[in-house]
Structure 1
């Protein structure tokens, strides 16, 4: 059976896992939008996927040796599961989320149990891992129910911030009533005069703005008064190479114009 036809029937009436196909991304995006507020509580970086185009880009750059399954109840998409193989360690890890409207019926427990069996029997791995939020009790209950051993708690923040989140404001400071667009403002996109869901920024002494542009995997420089920017870091496809970035979330620039950025994997 080829990988693009994998379908796993679950022991729940009408439920099955099916390998996601490009023409199903619209349904996946609609499900994500329906559950965005709920998912935001448990999945760091979920808001990096703001548009259908963001989801499409992530699909195109999906990891090698990673299978993305849709969880279906009859013909209704109700969740997503991911199974990723690490050949170096002969292990696999499983990620998942389920619509809040279809919880409490054993759907995800059955799905994860089936993927664990697939990993051991088809991929012949020696170990399967599941990472859950420490406070996500429903998600944690699934591996506990399946007999997984809790080996510990990872650090809270998968992304180490480049700076603090607070700033001192002078007591006599005044805010302008109307703002001024200093970068972007030309609809969402990947052109040199556009940004796509920008994240962190840094402003130097010359009023040059450096912006982390996560969906485009780049850092963009906008000089004061410019109508377009200049890519100063990456701008290539997402990756871990020395010439690539993976959804940078923040940026700082020192006096020598050396650039540092932080990234996250979602």
Structure 2
């Protein structure tokens, strides 16, 4: 991509400020559209530097119980891809600077279909995509068309990505690289900070892209420890867990739902700003 994106600008700002960024994940439409909007619109002021907005899907195979449940809540509430794009467009009316990355699985994009999705995502103000079930061998399917549409395509690197595989993963990646800190699904284990540090140091020998660390980060202490070596820390399961813990018995939102999430974001942001 020849032009600088919001993601590029945000990571350049973080580098100038000498601090790691906070990347927050929520699922669009969880627990309902209006509550999800309130959380989304409040994230930048709470301290989020980049926002990952999950595209609800019925079979989120890489995700643990917390994010699976958030996707189910959103789908049950009627969330559609059009609603998710409209959320981003509405967000852009008040915030032109905070990057938004749509994260999820290929099926909801494929059935939209691809060409229409890329045009409408760009028009809405989406900055990048993370599509966890599209390997580099399928770059012609969505990755390259997304780049041509002006969207960053962000790849995952895992603890099992070896030196032979890494160049292939990096080939068409842009924006930042997402390092999965554990082997397994999201939110089910705590990362080993020392192992993550060593792995990121090796990855950085192969790319100038910023590296964000996610999967399993639940506390401010963990975020701070990982932020000492990563360019950003991604927190998702803890945030959707805060939503789940502050719902009525029937799964509807309460007066505590939005503040609980934003307060947690604030504590995570404060920890990372202290690195």
Task: Tell me the TM-score normalised to structure 1 length.
Answer: 0.32
Structure possessing the higher relative contact order (Cα contacts under 8 Å, 6 or more residues apart)? 2
Task: Tell me the TM-score normalised to structure 2 length.
Answer: 0.31
User: Greater CA radius of gyration, 1 or 2?
Assistant: 1
